Chain A
């Protein structure tokens, strides 16, 4: 069952210019994806690919210019305000830097329980559920009366997770949740995320620039490039041949083994979006067709989609 769906969504921002309007920046160009119940969908791509904008749309923080955002089967932005407000708590977010997203003047206990208080849950129940939640994310009871700056980065991310899950949401969008953490702490948080996903039966959209991390966690992976999804596949399929040339470049770029790699430029600016296939200027297999025509996201096997003329 699908819990969240984006259908052909586009999003542009007008850049601020001096005395006149700046150019328009198309950050997302007709992106579709769906998230199933109990699923972890990984979203991977380099900076500027639009993955964080996609996160904001999936969190209903922003409205798409075009396309539809469906949450629990309902067209979110066409619902009356009151219904939207009721749906909101069922969508939660965890961002990269918990120091920036947690109010520094609130105590940990209040931060975690705030969503419950907003829902008017009784004081005793709030306390019980907060303590239980803290135990589940591995925070000691003493942390209750501390402030965010008194905790380590890993502990703060545990607070952000507890706060996101305490209302038993349907979907949690995780935007680079472990990118600021050290390796040993990252492993703790990744395993905690898996554990919590099992316990709560929640669905995740997990966004990261780090392909090995995404592949460790996700059931399905969407690869983004310049505001488009170029490949969507079950995580296990990314270990097989026949992938989108950009996915192949990402995989080959993972450091660790000294092997010669194709040098393939840098992602172009969104202001100079290539015509045809967005990846063709860097693609080793590009043909004239790739410069003229944009390849559609085509099904190559049951759950595997690729946007490439050459596959």
Chain B
């Protein structure tokens, strides 16, 4: 393991009960301390399942078939459920797209954050209340003391997302997994929340696994980016390098299909992402690839380091 690595996902393969094919895999990547790592891809590429697996969380029916998720020196997948639960929240916080689904509608947001503080840090009463106010002001909630008594439905979408971030920070974790945390927000509010993630990283030295389908959002926040396609990482590079000189044909096609200000012509990538169970035997992108050669249909390419810190899964590169 290289120095400063906080989380290491090794050869992770996820399967589903009753199905003979994998949903995700094989995925390997490492997250350094204080780094924002962006995981980007289209729906069904496996980015959300990969993100949950980093907390050893699996939706019902999904289970790891192989691989390890190592946080510092602990393999989360080998821990019993009870210990995993202690790990989550305390060391790794989770933020979802829709805070309304994650917050309990019948308790005040203050109560919900205090509960986490008691569970993970043993704070209660006045101490928990003071810490909640501090967390609320850290995440930029206006009038933090008044917010304690609000119910989730009384807050705007942006404020709810700030509450959820405060809750994820309550256990004082080292890593946040944020799955599409700004997708449900309006652009002007999204800009504020993205700014908040950058501030939190700078202030607390947090590592963030930032999952999004939106290339522009990833470009805004991530230090390094991994592009996923059909259950695996096809390219991984530092942010600037990925956006200025993408090497994998899928990354290039995705960037050319993404409208930005001043785009005159969008290049169309025909076809769609193959769902799990229909992945081709060779390169999974080959059927849609404008640059494929006969070998691509035969041989599954490895994720190779082409330049320092730049890994690409393509036979032609």
Contacts from A to B (Cβ < 8 Å): 46-47, 152, 154, 182-188, 190-191, 209-213, 215-216, 239, 249-258, 260-261, 263-264, 266-267
Contact = CB atoms under 8 A, between A and B. Distances in A.
29 contacts: A182-B42, A182-B43, A182-B213, A183-B215, A183-B257, A185-B42, A185-B272, A187-B258, A191-B266, A209-B186, A210-B259, A212-B259, A213-B259, A215-B261, A249-B188, A250-B187, A253-B187, A254-B261, A255-B191, A255-B214, A256-B220, A257-B219, A258-B220, A260-B195, A261-B192, A263-B192, A266-B157, A266-B159, A267-B188
Given A216-B259, A258-B220, A266 B158 contact: yes
Nearest to B212: A255
Contact of A183 (B189, B191, B213, B220): B213
B188 A253 contact: yes
A182 B273 CA distance: 10
A279 to B, nearest CB: 11
Interface string B123-162: 0000000000000000000000000000000001111000
The 5 closest A-B pairs by CB, nearest first: A187-B257, A46-B186, A182-B42, A255-B220, A253-B191
Interface of B: 42-43, 156-159, 186-192, 194-195, 198, 213-217, 219-221, 253-254, 257-263, 266-270, 272-273
Give the interface centre of B158, B190, B192, B217 by most chain A CB atoms within 10 Å. B192
A182 B190 CA distance: 19
Contacts, number: 106
A261 B213 contact: no
Contacts of A184: 42, 253-254, 257, 268-269, 272-273
Contact of B269 (A187, A255, A263): A187
Nearest to B184: A47
Contact of A261 (B195, B219, B263, B266): B195
Contacts of B261: 211-212, 215, 239, 251, 254
A119 to B, nearest CB: 33
Given A253-B191, A254-B216, A188 B260 contact: no
Main secondary structure on A side of the interface with B: helix
A308 B313 CA distance: 52
Contacts of B186: 46-47, 209, 266-267
A216 B263 CA distance: 6
Contacts of B262: 239
Contacts of A152: 272
